[in-house]
Amino acid sequence: MKRHLFTLLAAGAAAGALALPAAADPGHAKNATHIQAICGTQTINVVVNGNGTFTPAHVVGSTKMFIPTALNLTFTFTPTNGTPETDTQNVHKASPTHRGTTTCTIPMQTLFSGPDGTATIQGSVTGFFTPVKHG
């Protein structure tokens, strides 16, 4: 049961974030996951609200979205007084490469911690930001 729950949470977090209308507050949605990423020289905070592998991420404090096209993430769940369990996702979209693609590093950070244990995420996500600037 815990392994199944961890896998569902990991899938949602791996997406990098969820697409919600700009008027909504995705950071307060049920099961919202906050993740910090370093994209080039900029540190960003995103919110993930879903469990799709390539679910877009809402960039906190803006109307931008990060659309993931490749994931290289490691999730670790450590049960209280137990042995860590690791799940690695290394997947790429089959679609053509998008112009303006960037790779963001996700430093190790805690997704959740509670009486049952602690889950962390780390790795990298490649994708692009919307809206895309043309010109």
Q: Report if residue 28 sits inside a domain.
A: yes
122 occurs within a structural domain: yes
- Residue 135 in any domain: the answer is no
> What's this model's pTM, rounded to 2 decimal places?
0.74
Which residue intervals of 1-135 are DSSP H helices? 2-14
Please indicate, yes or no, if residue 61 is contained in any of the structural domains.
yes
Write the CA distances from 57 to 30, 47, 80, 81, 115, integer angstroms.
Answer: 15, 6, 30, 33, 28
> Which of 9-13, 104-108, 128-132 is predicted least confidently?
9-13
Domains held by the chain: number: 1
Give me the mean pLDDT over the 26-55 stretch.
Answer: 83
State the DSSP code for 51: -
- The stretch 16-27 carries a mean pLDDT of 41
Residue 106 forms part of a structural domain: yes
Torsion of CA 23, 47, 65, 67, to 10 degrees: -140
**Is 125 a domain residue?**
yes
Residue 45 lies in a domain: yes
Reduce the DSSP state of residue 129 to 3 states and report it.
Answer: strand
Rounded-to-integer distance, Cα 86 and Cα 46, Å: 23
Asked whether the CA dihedral 115, 89, 15, 66 is positive or negative, the reply is positive
Residue 74 is which amino acid? T
Q: Which domain holds residue 113?
A: 2-130
Q: Is residue 93 over pLDDT 80?
A: yes
